[in-house]
Amino acid sequence: MTEPTSHSPRFWRDEHLPFIETRAIADGRKVTYSRHAHEHFSIGAVTTGRSYYHYGTDTFQISAGTVVLMNPGDVHACNPIDNEPWSYRMLYIDTPWLTDLQYQLGFSTDQGYRPFNTPYTRDKTLYAGLLELYQILVDEQAEHLQKQSTLVSFFTEVQQRLNPADTPIREVNHKLERAAEYIREHCTQALKLEDICMAAELSPSYLIRAFKQYYGLTPHAYLVNQRIQFARAQLRQGKLIADVALASGFADQAHFQRAFKQHFAATPGQYRDLLKPSANNPHWPPATRPLNG
């Protein structure tokens, strides 16, 4: 990710997610645009201040809390109002990826990309979801599966709130159980969304939306929960915390500590301390080096 000055753009790209790019501007007064169009779909959020939003032949004044949308080919520009400070986050999505998601959500495959007829919205759910997605995407410690899941979940939400399909999503509980089983069996590995979808024979949009409805957790949250259960068993065997973090599939010990505390309201070290030596286990724990926790 490029490092910005106060007015230069901050770009983010990931070779593992080649269909999306993000841009952030902290001070939009120094970044002005002529009217232009993209071949991809664009969506963004104004985070502070106000700006002009030129869309086709119309001009709107938008402010913090506004989500803007630009279909491929739509002529647009956003520029400051009387040198007032403003900032924003933008996401640029390759049109084929979004078109495929539309097909998965029930749109006919007889035609291609279905354009949005809403140039902007004040929908609070979409605004919060876009900012959450941005933070997860640029987080170098966030797992690939979490980024994939959040992407599909957010753009499914955008589609259903602003441009819904005519047909509802089907109930697929038996396949969701297959997805959960796959996650359980491979929870210590770096899973990819497409691997889970293949195991369950489900599309990403079905999986992300229906899995949370069925289990109350996203696939990524379910994965983290399974890792914590695995780690708990390892700790009960007296394994070292650093080793348990690695064996459980966490990026590092700090991530493991935070996740464990969120699940158990205690650190791994505190959990270990609860497992006092007993007559059946007089030599536990075999601490061969200092433990943090």
Q: Has residue 125 been placed in a domain?
A: yes
Mean pLDDT of 57-83: 92
Nearest to 260 by CA among 293, 285, 286: 293
Q: What is the pLDDT of residues 201-240, one digit of tens each?
A: 999 999 998 998 888 888 999 999 999 989 988 988 889 9
242: pLDDT strictly greater than 60: yes
Quick one: tokens of 214? 């069925």
> What is the residue whose two structure tokens read 């796959």?
182
179 and 67 part of one domain: no
For the beta carbon of residue 189, count every other beta carbon within 10 angstroms.
12
Cα–Cα distance, 293 to 270 (Å, whole number): 7
Q: Give me the pLDDT at residue 10, please.
A: 85
150 and 30 part of one domain: yes
Q: Give me the pLDDT at residue 172, please.
A: 45
- Residue 22 in 3-state DSSP? strand
89 and 206 part of one domain: no
For residue 118, what pLDDT band results from cuts at 50, 70 and 90? very high
Quick one: tokens of 53? 């939003």
Tell me the pairing of strands 10-12 and 76-80. Answer: unpaired
92 and 190 part of one domain: no
83 and 192 part of one domain: no
Nearest to 291 by CA among 240, 246, 229: 240
Quick one: tokens of 112? 């291609």
89 and 125 part of one domain: yes
Q: Give me the pLDDT at residue 92, please.
A: 95
Quick one: tokens of 213? 């409805």
156 and 14 part of one domain: yes
Last residue of a domain, one of 146, 181, 216: 216
Domain count, the chain: 2
Mean pLDDT of 109-129: 94
Domain that holds residue 204: 173-216
Q: How deeply is 221 buried, as exposed, middle or buried, from its count of CB atoms within 10 A (0-12, 13-18, 19+)?
A: middle
Mean pLDDT of 183-201: 95
Q: Are 152 and 229 in contact (CB under 8 A)?
A: no
Q: Give me the pLDDT at residue 236, please.
A: 82
Q: Has residue 123 been placed in a domain?
A: yes
Q: Has residue 139 been placed in a domain?
A: yes
106: pLDDT strictly greater than 60: yes
Cα–Cα distance, 221 to 208 (Å, whole number): 11
203 and 94 part of one domain: no
For residue 63, what pLDDT band results from cuts at 50, 70 and 90? very high
70 and 125 part of one domain: yes
Cα–Cα distance, 274 to 257 (Å, whole number): 16
Q: Has residue 158 been placed in a domain?
A: yes
63 and 149 part of one domain: yes
199: pLDDT strictly greater than 50: yes
Quick one: tokens of 267? 């650190």
Mean pLDDT comparison of 68-72, 173-177, 212-216, highest-scoring range? 68-72
Element (H, E) at 70: strand 67-70
93 and 18 part of one domain: yes
Cα–Cα distance, 93 to 158 (Å, whole number): 13
DSSP per residue, 71-133: -TT--EEEEESTT--EEEEEEEE-HHHHHHHHHHTT--TTSS----S-SEE--HHHHHHHHHH
Cα–Cα distance, 69 to 16 (Å, whole number): 25
Q: Has residue 223 been placed in a domain?
A: no
204 and 69 part of one domain: no
Q: Give me the pLDDT at residue 168, please.
A: 61
Cα–Cα distance, 177 to 208 (Å, whole number): 13
- CATH number, domain at 151? 2.60.120.280
